[in-house]
Amino acid sequence: MNIGFVGVPPLDLIEKYEKAFPQTQWFDLDVPRNEINKKNSMLYLPDTTCSVIQTVLANIMEIKPSILIATSGACKCDSMRFLLPIIKRVLPSTEIVECVNNDTRDFGYPICESGLPLIQKFEMITENVINTVTKWGLGSTTKHLLEKTKPVAGFWGVPPFDFSILKLFPDNTHVFGWTRCMENKTPHNLELELYVRPGLPTIFFSQAFCQKNILAKELANIHKGLYVEVDGAMDKSSKAKIMAFLELKNCY
C-alpha cells in the first residue's frame, strides 16, 4: 500500500488520506529519482514533453502507487489531465483521485525569503508539500534559519528537473513564481505567481515544453531579467548564461 501525489493537492484531501492510511508511505511523483529513468515514459509520450511530466509518468509506472492523488488544472499544468487516460490504461489497479487545488488560506513563504542556500530552500519546499501538521511543517530547530533576508538575486519558476541549476545562485536568492505558491500552499494563485521584487536581478526559469515559458519570457521582458529555458539536465551554455548575468549584475 502506498500513495503517490502529483502537484500540490488540497490540504483537506491530504488530511483525509493521512487519517485513512496513517502508516502509508507517500511519494511525490514530480521528484526525479536516481533509480528511475524518465525516458521510460517515452513509450507513451512524445519527445516534446516537459521533463517534469516525463518524470511523473516514469515514477508512476515504476512505483505503481495504490492510490494516485492527481492535481490538474490551473493549480498545476494542464498536462496532468492528458496523462490520466494513459495512467488508467497502464495501471488499471491504481485508484485515481483527480483533484483541483483551490485553497486560499495563505501559509506564508518564509523559506523563499530566507538566507538558506537555494538548493536547500527547494528541498524544504518540495518536502513540505504534504505536511499539514505545523504552520510551515518545520521544527523549532530550523525555524531560526528562516529569518527574512535582503535578497541579492531572484529565482522565478517551478522546481527544476535538475536541481544543479540552484547551486549557481548566492544564498540570499529569494524564490518567486509557482515555487512560492507551493510554499504558501496556494498553487493556483496567479497573482502571487506573477509577483517578483521590482529591481531585483532575477532569473526566470522554465522547463522546456512547459506552458509557463510564456509567463517566464514575458516577466523577464518586463523586469529586465534573464529568461532561461532548460530541457532536462542543465547544459553548459545555460549555466554560463546564468553565471554571467549574476556576475554582471554584481550578485556574487
Partner 1 sequence: MLLVDAGTSYIKILDSTSGKFKILSLAEFKDHPIIKANYVTGHNSNLFSEAIFVNELVALAKGARKIIHENDFTVLDIGSRDMKLVKFSEGEFEKCDWNTSCGAMIGFTMELIMKYFNKVPEDIKDTDMCFDITCGLLGITKFFDNISKTTTIEEGLSALINGLSKFTWQFAGKPQKLYLSGGLSENKIFLNHLQKLVPDLKSLGRTVLIEGLK
Positions that interact with partner 1 (CB under 8 A): 224-227, 235, 237-238, 240-241, 243-245, 247-249
User: Can you tell me whether residue 44 is helix, strand or coil?
Assistant: coil
User: Where are any strands of DSSP class E within the chain?
Assistant: 2-6, 25-28, 67-71, 95-99, 153-156, 173-176, 202-207, 226-230
170, 246 contact by CB (below 8 A): yes
What is the smallest separation between the CB atom of 231 and partner 1, expressed in angstroms? 8
Instruction: Name the amino acid, one letter, at 199.
Output: G
DSSP state of 85: H
Q: Which three cell numbers stand for residue 140?
A: 523549532
Nearer to partner 1, 181 or 242 (CB): 242
Nearer to partner 1, 44 or 227 (CB): 227
Q: What is the dihedral of CA 172, 192, 107, 77, to 10 degrees?
A: -100
What is the smallest separation between the CB atom of 220 and partner 1, expressed in angstroms? 8
Nearer to partner 1, 109 or 169 (CB): 169
Nearer to partner 1, 127 or 247 (CB): 247
What is the smallest separation between the CB atom of 252 and partner 1, expressed in angstroms? 11
What is the smallest separation between the CB atom of 160 and partner 1, expressed in angstroms? 17
What is the smallest separation between the CB atom of 116 and partner 1, expressed in angstroms? 26
Nearer to partner 1, 190 or 240 (CB): 240
Residue 90's φ and ψ, nearest 5 degrees, are -80, -40
Interior/surface letters 208-243, b for 16+ CB within 10 angstroms, e for the rest = ebbebbebbeebbeebebbbbbbbbebeeebbebbe
What is the smallest separation between the CB atom of 202 and partner 1, expressed in angstroms? 11
Instruction: Name the amino acid, one letter, at 1.
Output: M
Nearer to partner 1, 51 or 114 (CB): 51
